[in-house]
Amino acid sequence: MTQFLVSRRIRLFLALFGLALVAAFATTALVRTAGPVSAADGGVNVEITFTKWGVTPAPNVGVVDGDVVGSLVWTASKTVLPNVEKIHATYVVTGVTDSGPQTFTAVLDGKANLQTDERVLNGVITEGWLAGAQVYVEFIKVPNCPENTQGTACFVGTIRIMAASAD
């Protein structure tokens, strides 16, 4: 009789353990398929580093890395004031994320501090991936970069996308 109770307890334990494993796998599957969970999928803020430079003829070009790996094409217009430069820019990023190819266009406004060479832009994604999301860009001017064969000045910085603000 004791042997019957032990084997019954073992069977009960194994059944409960099996149910726990099934529940754990089901929960993991639901989390993975329920929606975006990574930055590249738009679940949290997206962070992209970039190096860009001017070319002739325009548009200007660059490379991106981080949550999106690929290229940057950009245009900008500037108004120079004492110690400050107002900037209006359009960035088109084409690249690959963990979930596949992505492209977006961001329209940005901001300024450059001409004494420190620091630049800050704010805007919104107007087309493509994460349309409607707010965008924050900060970058600095550097004398050169290995990707630039034109010999012109380069800019190095970060694009942050607040993915939760997308439409």
Q: Considering only residues 8 and 70, tell me which one the structure prediction assigns the higher pLDDT.
A: 70
- Indicate the class that CATH gives domain 39-165: mainly beta
Is residue 166 pLDDT above 90, yes or no? no
Tell me the pLDDT tens digit for each residue of 77-90.
999 998 899 999 99
List the chain domain ranges: 1-34, 39-165
Tell me the pLDDT tens digit for each residue of 145-159.
888 888 888 999 999
pLDDT of residue 153: 85
Strand partners, 6: none
pTM (predicted TM-score) = 0.73
3 state SS of 112: strand
How many CB atoms lie under 10 A from the CB of residue 89? 19
Residue 47 has pLDDT above 90, yes or no: yes
pLDDT at 17: 36
What is d(CA 87, CA 17) in angstroms, rounded to the nearest whole number? 62
- Report the C-alpha gap between 26 and 32 in whole angstroms: 10
What pLDDT is attached to residue 7? 52
Residues 99-128 as b/e (b if ≥16 CB within 10 A, e otherwise) read: eeebebbbebebbbeeeeeebebebbbeee
pLDDT in tens, 112-141: 998 888 999 999 999 999 999 999 999 999
SS3 (DSSP) at 157: strand
Sign of the torsion angle spanned by Cα atoms 107, 109, 114, 117? negative
Top-confidence residue, 153 or 32: 153
